[in-house]
Structure 1
């Protein structure tokens, strides 16, 4: 293995905190990964990694070498990409919320691969917060408020939300004429995986934002189960409009309190601050941002 590939392997080990995971990511046997790092440490004359039964962590020298390796490989990739219109190439790992991917990204993937045929895209789906460095992904697409982190966040959309319920539910509990009427209603709750708390029920009113406490006898952590609970008439909910456009058009779901809608929610692309953007990550970010912007231009409700 040449020195550049050895650097790539070392970077992946540091980020994955695992020889096994890094070997899998880079397509080499674990025994080879162990040998390469041992030879690297012997050549440099320092210990780069601390190995425990639970994880692998860089030493102080290893952390310094990790950052130098990042800079060197980023410079090489940028230099090669600056000549001859070089096409971005290699594996791109992204983690998305599945609902967003299916509505905004996947329908346009043929266009992406036509533009960038040398990129391989590995897309994982999770609805909870992930650390892209620890999980070994290049960027993350997330809906809603973001926790504090060292990641760079690029907002690509603000999604309009709708308060809604089924006609069957409304026949049983009545149609709320105002926010005050919600005291007699039930909520399908969605819980944040990070805290276990229910997402707040909020409305835009003159002068600001109003938050309402509601009974939520049924709550979930996933958006698909959340929407199914609403469709089953278990309560009312506040849902991104793009996710229920067909249900609203067919009358399966009824919009409520439209004069005081919920605040819109952001969609963000996130990537590590610790490194420059590689050409393949850069073209993916630009392409993904265009997909959200295009929806506004074709009658959707998501401004870029």
Structure 2
């Protein structure tokens, strides 16, 4: 039997106070626990445990050996952790939409850098589709259905397209009950082209089919954060993504409207070139980020 494994088993026996409990803790068989003790006693040349049919006692020699094994295993763990940190070196170039990157991606980047002091990260906040190969990007976060099959993608969650307004705005006019009612409301657009937008909604709560409603935007901006801020101040109805307004929905500064007509959620993917994601800092970042982002969107705003 591997000597380090036997040491781990013996320390578990001492910690749990039972051979059976040690086996359960380590997920191994009772027979392997017994063999580990016999192996160590053979190497030590003395008894480490005094066993009866119902119980055991650690001998004086066993206590000394357990303390030594514990120190060896702890030091080995520290060495392995330092080796992992040193192994994760090099740089990662990441891109994400500006507000998503600032609110969601940056905390993950910062925790990655804290865990891997030899890695470097460059983050590009770009509200457009990025050519990973042409622009030298390793990892992209995309909020969209994917079309490019040449990339490897990992789904990390989804976001909803909401319709929101401030309580102050709704106090002065009736809330829309149907998407067609938006034609009689002040709307805040997210575009640079003009005062009209097409907002897409499901035809009914039970339908998957969507239809477009043409709205006139009294105010149009090219910044989601600025549009949300204007909506909070009562300037009109806005259509943010759910992650953008979690705080405002939670504190009541914005109220969701037309929930029965929301379109299907938008998937979120982490996209990377297959060869770029195979090892080193890029692979380490993907392994670090994916479970954390999935956990974030497991807690995100729900219908």
Q: Structure 1 length as normaliser, TM-score?
A: 0.61
Structure 1 runs (4+) greater than 6 angstroms displaced: none
Segments of 5+ residues of structure 1 without an aligned counterpart are 1-83
Secondary structure of the corresponding residue to residue 205 of structure 1 = coil
Equivalent in the alignment of 2:170:
170
For residues 16-56 of structure 1, the C-alpha deviation after alignment (integer angstroms, 9 at most, x for no partner) is: xxxxxxxxxxxxxxxxxxxxxxxxxxxxxxxxxxxxxxxxx
Deviation at 1:98, TM superposition (A): 2.7
Equivalent in the alignment of 2:295:
294
Secondary structure of the corresponding residue to residue 284 of structure 2 = helix
User: What are the within-5 Å matches in structure 2 for residues 174-185 of structure 1?
Assistant: 174-185=174-185
Deviation at 1:199, TM superposition (A): 6.2
CA RMSD, Structure 1 to Structure 2 (Å): 3.1
Equivalent in the alignment of 1:107:
107
Confirm or deny: 8 A CA contact 1:201 1:238 kept in the other structure: no
Task: Say if 2:157 is the partner of 1:157.
Answer: yes
Distance 1:192 1:130 in 2: 20
Task: Say if 2:97 is the partner of 1:97.
Answer: yes
Deviation at 1:120, TM superposition (A): 0.6
Confirm or deny: 8 A CA contact 1:202 1:262 kept in the other structure: yes
Deviation at 1:200, TM superposition (A): 3.4
Deviation at 1:130, TM superposition (A): 1.7
Deviation at 1:112, TM superposition (A): 1.5
Secondary structure of the corresponding residue to residue 238 of structure 1 = coil
Flag the 1:150–1:222 CA change in 2: closer, same or farther, 3 A: farther
Matched residues, number? 216
Confirm or deny: 8 A CA contact 2:187 2:236 kept in the other structure: yes
Flag the 1:199–1:184 CA change in 2: closer, same or farther, 3 A: closer
Deviation at 1:158, TM superposition (A): 0.5
Deviation at 1:273, TM superposition (A): 5.1
User: What are the within-5 Å matches in structure 2 for residues 274-285 of structure 1?
Assistant: 277-285=278-286
Flag the 1:146–1:170 CA change in 2: closer, same or farther, 3 A: farther
Q: Structure 2 length as normaliser, TM-score?
A: 0.61
Segments of 5+ residues of structure 2 without an aligned counterpart are 1-82
Secondary structure of the corresponding residue to residue 292 of structure 1 = helix
Structure of higher CA gyration radius = 2
For residues 262-283 of structure 1, the C-alpha deviation after alignment (integer angstroms, 9 at most, x for no partner) is: 4311222222357663332122
Distance 1:245 1:234 in 2: 19
Equivalent in the alignment of 1:219:
220
Deviation at 1:94, TM superposition (A): 0.9
Equivalent in the alignment of 2:200:
201
Confirm or deny: 8 A CA contact 2:90 2:281 kept in the other structure: yes
Flag the 1:233–1:159 CA change in 2: closer, same or farther, 3 A: same
For residues 113-136 of structure 1, the C-alpha deviation after alignment (integer angstroms, 9 at most, x for no partner) is: 243222111112111222122222
Distance 2:205 2:296 in 1: 27
Confirm or deny: 8 A CA contact 1:186 1:236 kept in the other structure: yes
Distance 2:225 2:92 in 1: 26
Deviation at 1:248, TM superposition (A): 1.8
